[in-house]
Structure formats: C-alpha cells, structure tokens
Chains A and B, each alone.
Chain A
Amino acid sequence: MQLDENILYLFVFFVIGIALPLVALSLGKILRPNRPSTRKSVTYESGVEPTGESWVQFNVRYYLFALLFVIFDVESVFLYPWAVVYQELRADIGLFVLVEMLIFILFLLIGLAYAWKKKVLSWK
C-alpha cells in the first residue's frame, strides 16, 4: 500500500521527536555524574523540611474551567467544518447557514452568561 507522503511526514516528525529525548538522555548518562544521597532526593521546598504529601484534593475551580473548556472545544469542532464549507453553502442555500450557526453559538453563549452570573469565571 502506498501511503500518502503528507501523512508519512507527520509520522517522521513524531519519530524524530521521540528519538531526540531518547538519544540525548541516554547519551547524557555517560557524561553526568551519579552520586545519589538521601538529602539530595528530598523534595525541594526552598530549604524547608517538606510536610505531608502534595497529592491532595485540589481546588474545585480548576475542574469547572476544565468543564467549560470541554464545552467550547466541542463547539470549535463544529465551527471548523462549518467555516470550511460556508461559502459553498452560502451560494447554495443562502444566509440560512449563518443563521443556523448563530443559533448554535447563541445557546453556548447563554451557557457562558450563566457561568458568568454564577461567578464561575471569577477567580476568588
């Protein structure tokens, strides 16, 4: 099977991207010293003895932003193909293409306005 050259390039770039850290980090092993000590491998917190773990429950606000991100990222998945074929559809069925997308964006904007009003967007 003949693979498209454009796809092959993507593959080659990924392989080189993986190869560089592999080669650099394994060749570096020969050059760098290795003298481990228990003091050295203590978690660094500006010289203060660390207390407790940092794998703890985290501020829920980050989660809310992640949720918002998912919603609008999916919106962009719909926007991209629409934008690509917009001019053809505009010639075909008229301005209804634009109105359709405006309705879709409007619904998401209502969601954004709701989040805004609920103070999800302000970082306190």
Chain B
Amino acid sequence: MNPVLVMGPILLLFVVLGFVTMAILFERKVIGWIQMRPGPNRVGPWGILQTVADVLKLLIKEDIIPSKADKPLFKLAPAIAFIPAFAVLAVIPFTESLQFSQFAVGILYYLAVSSITIIGILMGGWASNNKYALLGAMRSAAQMISYEIPLVMSVVGIILSVGSLNLVEIVEAQKQVWFIFPQFLGFAVFFIASLSELNRTPFDLPEAESELVAGYHVEYTGFRFAFFMLSEYVYVFAMASLTTVLFLGGWNAPFGLTMIPGIVWFVLKFLLIVFSLFWIRATMPRVRVDQLMEFAWKVLLPVALFNILLTAVLQEVPYLDFLYRL
C-alpha cells in the first residue's frame, strides 16, 4: 500500500489540530480586540499557549458520568460527533497537487457525511438525562436539519453551471470568475446557513449559555467535552475550506497573480472566512428561537429555490451565459 495514503491524512490531522488550537486563541483575541480588551495574554508570549494550557487542563480532569445517564450512548456520542467532522476533509482540494480524494460526488459526500454529527449531538443530549442537555440537543437537531435544506439547495446553482459534483472540477471552473459573483444569492444563503450549521453566533441557541447552562454538553467533562468542542472547530476548518472551494475560487489566483503559489491564495481566502465568523460573533446578538426556525423555512429556502431558477434562466441569456454555463 502506498505510504502517502496513510501519512497524508495523519499529517492533515495534525494541521487541523494545530489550526483548532490557534483558531480558539485567534477567536478570543479578535473578540477581545473588537471589545477593546486584551484577551488572553498570560500563558506564553502574547497568550499564544493559552489553548495548549486549556487542552492540558481538560486532559487531567476527571471523567464524570452521571449515574442516571445512559452510559454506552454517553460515551459514544463525542466520537460520533467528531468522526464525520474529520472524514469530510477527505474530499476538499487544497491546491492542484495537495488534495486527497477526488471523489466524483465530493460535494454530496461532504453534505451527507457532515449531517451525521447531528446524531452525535442528539445522542449526547439525550443520554445525559439532563433537562438542559435534552433541550439543547433538540434545539440543535431542529436547527441543523432546518438549515441543511437551504445549505444543500444553495449549491445547486453551482452544480447547474459546472455540471459536476466533483470539487476539483468546481474549482477549475472558477479560473475566470469566482462563483461568489454570478452566484451571489447562492453565496448569501450558503454563508448564513453554514453559520447556523456550525452553531455559531447569531445562531448559537443550542449552546446559549445564558439560558441553557451550556446546551447538549452540560454533563460532559474532561476530554469527552473536549471532543465536542474539537468537532465544532474542525467543522469551522471544513466549512471555511468548503466555502473557499465553492465560492472563492479555491487555489485560483485573482487578477492573474499566478506567481504567488495557490496554497497562499487558498490560506488567505480561508482565513478571511474564518475571520468573518469571529467578526460576526462579536457583532451580532443571538436570534430568538422562533425567528431562527421561521428564517430558515420562510426566507432562506424560497431564496435558494429562486436561485436555482435564476441560474437556469440566466443560462439562456446571451452575453451572460459564459458566467453560468461552464
């Protein structure tokens, strides 16, 4: 067996773990900066080791399982939530040469596998036998399935234009124009729905700490809790990569600046998305649960369906079809 086949993914795992460590610090620093306070600055220079210290702390915490909990499910849930978060990274092409699986139905694979995490969250909330955890888990499941529909539909415009589900072909179709311009409506729906899929502010109701204690992971301690947190941030990595690939042209350079390597462009676009997530968190208040559900079904879903129609119609317009028929 080809050793690259195993070493590559393991290397990516460490890159992702490194990203998660830095992203948590970066998030706290950015929010601190926006709120005019220093943020974490005690552990290491510029607070750079803060998350490392947090992870070490979690590692040596006692693992408490409530006596009333359903033990096997309680233990299984964090793993079920984490595994798909890492598995989806297999289909994401980072650059022309740095890509793992060129699976023919890449985008479908991502969307299908990522929804398994809902089961892990529901499992954890239910198995805890805690009212807050159950409420958080039910809210989370309802929210994630509601926003998955617009998320899935908003991509159809791109598939219509490219005629393929392969993420590599989707990136290659964006050599001239990135899809954020012709598919702006799709991008808006996709970005809002992905915020909600990631359970991030303004859609962080499942973890609304001021109303639900902590949400579905109230009863979790130590490293089991860490795995819920980890899968959340691995999804930030995956979703920011997917947004870059689908709408920001992946590794394609803007303005023909091809002397700068593709990986630099990918990372820049990727970081822009990650920063926007933190920016939005620091700026927006949390939405109410009734607004949340109505927004998905009454606004995002019709807009996403309209975007499909619009793309199909614009393919017929002369002079514009080069944007929509690739």
Q: Which residues of A contact B (CB under 8 A)?
A: 5-10, 12-14, 16-18, 20-22, 24-25, 28-29, 31-36, 38, 40-46, 50, 53-55, 58-59, 62, 65-66, 68-69, 72-73, 76, 79-80, 83-88, 90, 95, 98, 102, 105, 109, 112, 115-116, 121-124
Contacts and interface: CB of A to CB of B under 8 A. Distances in A.
Contact of B79 (A21, A55, A115, A124): A21
B285 interface: no
Given A73-B148, A79-B153, A84 B163 contact: yes
Contact of B103 (A7, A12, A14, A21): A7
Interface string B288-326: 011011100110011001001100100110000000010
A1 B129 CA distance: 47
A87 to B, nearest CB: 5
Contacts of A10: 87, 90-91, 101, 103, 109
Contacts of A80: 108, 156, 159, 165
Q: Which 4 A-B pairs have the closest CB atoms?
A: A123-B290, A9-B101, A17-B83, A83-B159
21 contacts: A9-B100, A13-B87, A13-B90, A20-B82, A24-B223, A28-B223, A31-B60, A40-B64, A42-B66, A54-B133, A55-B126, A76-B149, A76-B156, A84-B163, A84-B165, A85-B163, A86-B160, A86-B312, A87-B315, A115-B297, A123-B289
B152 interface: yes
B129 A34 contact: no
B130 A9 contact: no
Nearest to B224: A25
Given A13-B86, A20-B82, A42 B67 contact: yes
Contacts of A79: 153, 156, 308
Nearest to B86: A17
B138 interface: yes
Interface in B65-122: 65-69, 78-79, 82-87, 89-91, 100-104, 108-109
Contact of A121 (B66, B219, B297): B297
Nearest to B219: A44
Chain A residues touching B, majority SS: helix
Contacts of B223: 24-25, 28, 32
Contacts of A122: 290, 293-294
B163 A88 contact: yes
A58 B13 contact: no
Interface string B183-215: 000000000000000000000000000000100
A8 B130 CA distance: 40
A58 B138 contact: yes
B309 A16 contact: no
